[in-house]
């Protein structure tokens, strides 16, 4: 594939018209059109500028490899197509940078994620989604409170790339043979930690069943309705294991077998899920009547208005492993100061200061004998 085609793909992927690309890059619209139609070759500096505007690496345009479209599944999309594309482009760039850091530090690692016992989408049922969640719970050793460790396990043991950005809409999951598995979670002010926990578990279902449902998706960004329902059932079961949930409820129910909403709220907080999610889960587990469930959900809505964000809800955009790999690549001289600043979303000045502070530590390899 030639540079012109790649320029067009990159521009369209971020949702820019020629006018917008021209405004952002300072390169004339007719020049951009000429580049895309292979009527004229851009100067390297122009290509570099466009790579920045389109959130791609220069290498993306220099390769002759065939282009593979990134498939991104949204849990709920932003209303504006522009924001959707911009978020996708930003997420793809972060994934690419993460992959680059892995390559630079020789830390490209693959771990096999658990697979469901079904091969075709039509074989999936709610029961199978739930039993698959139990299998994952066991394999991941998530313990009584899965929300407390699931992110760490996915990032550190299965090398799933998990980023956080502020955008309107919910989470995104993606898989590419080049970058592996990745999830983008929302950190805008209105998104609570329990929502992110549920989003992550929900997106995990998409990652684990990526190939199974790939054939029946009408659009590359839209999971099917059934797929979404199964993902919710899976997430609910994964985050609230049967035995632990029953145990917590037994502890708090009164002599008449009733449990107060405030106590349910305590349990939801402990599991790191929303009160709504807990109520739905209980309705399923204890076969609660629809009418009673709805009454409880109404009351829950009023109660959650009093909730405040907790301190622990602050999330960094970049995963810890990503940051550590970037620091290692910088220290080993595999990442320039300019690149380091870009990868870490910081200024050149700060990157330079970091280098100066660690002047004596460059290129040193320290190891401990364990023989």
Partner 1 sequence: MVLWMKRFPFLLLDAGPIIKLFQLGIWEEFITKCDVTISRTVAEEAKYASLEFKDICINLDVYEEQNLVKIIDVELSNVKAFHEKFDQQYNISIHAGEKETLAFLYNSSDDWLVCSADHVVYRVLGLLGRSEQGISLEEILKQIGFSRELELIYTKKFREENTRIGQIHSIQNKGLL
Residues found near partner 1 in the complex (CB under 8 A):
3, 41-45, 47-49, 51, 58-59, 62, 100, 103-104, 333-339, 341, 347-350, 352, 355-356, 359-360, 362-363
Closest distance of CB 106 from partner 1, Å: 8
CB-nearer residue toward partner 1: 45 or 254: 45
Closest distance of CB 298 from partner 1, Å: 51
CB-nearer residue toward partner 1: 60 or 234: 60
CB-nearer residue toward partner 1: 57 or 197: 57
Per-residue DSSP letters for 53-106? Answer: HTT--HHHHH--SPP-PPPEEESS--S-HHHHHHHHHHHHHHHHHHHHHHHHHT
Closest distance of CB 361 from partner 1, Å: 10
Q: At what angle do helices 126-140 and 193-208 cross, to 10 degrees?
A: 100
Residue of 239, 246, 285, 280 whose CA lies nearest to 143:
239
Q: At what angle do helices 348-357 and 320-331 cross, to 10 degrees?
A: 70
Look up tokens 């080993």; give the residue.
332
Closest distance of CB 333 from partner 1, Å: 3
Q: Are 96 and 322 in contact (CB under 8 A)?
A: no
Look up tokens 């940051």; give the residue.
323
Closest distance of CB 32 from partner 1, Å: 14
- Please count the other Cβ atoms lying within 10 Å of the Cβ belonging to residue 152: 11
CB-nearer residue toward partner 1: 48 or 309: 48
CB-nearer residue toward partner 1: 286 or 348: 348
Closest distance of CB 204 from partner 1, Å: 29
CB-nearer residue toward partner 1: 58 or 303: 58
Look up tokens 């066991």; give the residue.
138
Euclidean distance between the first and the last CA atom of the chain, given in angstroms as a whole number: 50
């Amino acid at each position: 594939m030639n540079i012109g085609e790649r320029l067009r793909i990159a521009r369209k992927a971020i949702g820019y018209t020629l006018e917008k690309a021209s405004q952002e890059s300072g390169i004339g619209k007719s020049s951009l059109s000429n580049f895309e139609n292979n009527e004229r070759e851009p100067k390297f500096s122009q290509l570099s500028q466009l790579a920045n505007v389109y959130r791609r690496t220069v290498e993306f345009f220099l390769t002759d490899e065939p282009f593979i479209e990134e498939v991104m599944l949204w849990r709920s999309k932003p209303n504006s197509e522009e924001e959707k594309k911009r978020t996708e482009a930003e997420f793809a760039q972060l994934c690419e940078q993460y992959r680059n850091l892995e390559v630079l530090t020789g830390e490209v690692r693959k771990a096999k994620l658990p697979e469901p016992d079904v091969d075709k989408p039509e074989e999936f049922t709610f029961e199978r989604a739930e039993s698959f969640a139990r299998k994952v719970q066991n394999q991941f050793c998530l313990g009584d409170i899965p929300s407390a460790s699931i992110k760490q396990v996915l990032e550190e043991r299965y090398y799933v790339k998990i980023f956080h950005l502020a955008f309107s809409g919910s989470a995104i999951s993606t898989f590419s043979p080049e970058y592996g598995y990745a999830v983008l979670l929302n950190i805008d002010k209105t998104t609570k930690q329990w929502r992110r926990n549920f989003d992550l578990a929900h997106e995990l279902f998409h990652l684990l069943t990526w190939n199974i449902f790939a054939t029946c998706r009408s659009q590359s960004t839209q999971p099917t309705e059934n797929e979404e329902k199964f993902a919710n059932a899976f997430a609910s079961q994964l985050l609230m294991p049967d035995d632990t949930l029953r145990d917590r409820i037994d502890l708090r129910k009164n002599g008449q077998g009733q449990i107060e909403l405030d106590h349910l709220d305590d349990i939801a907080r402990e599991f790191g899920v929303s009160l709504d999610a807990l109520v739905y889960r209980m309705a399923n587990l204890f076969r609660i009547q629809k009418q009673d469930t709805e009454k409880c959900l109404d009351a829950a809505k009023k109660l959650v208005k009093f909730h405040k964000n907790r301190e622990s809800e602050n999330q960094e955009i970049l995963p810890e492993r990503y940051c550590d790999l970037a620091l290692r690549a910088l220290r080993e001289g595999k990442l320039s100061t300019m690149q380091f600043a870009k990868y870490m979303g910081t200024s050149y000045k700060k990157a330079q200061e970091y280098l100066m502070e660690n002047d004596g530590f460059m290129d040193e390899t320290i190891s401990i004998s364990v023989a």
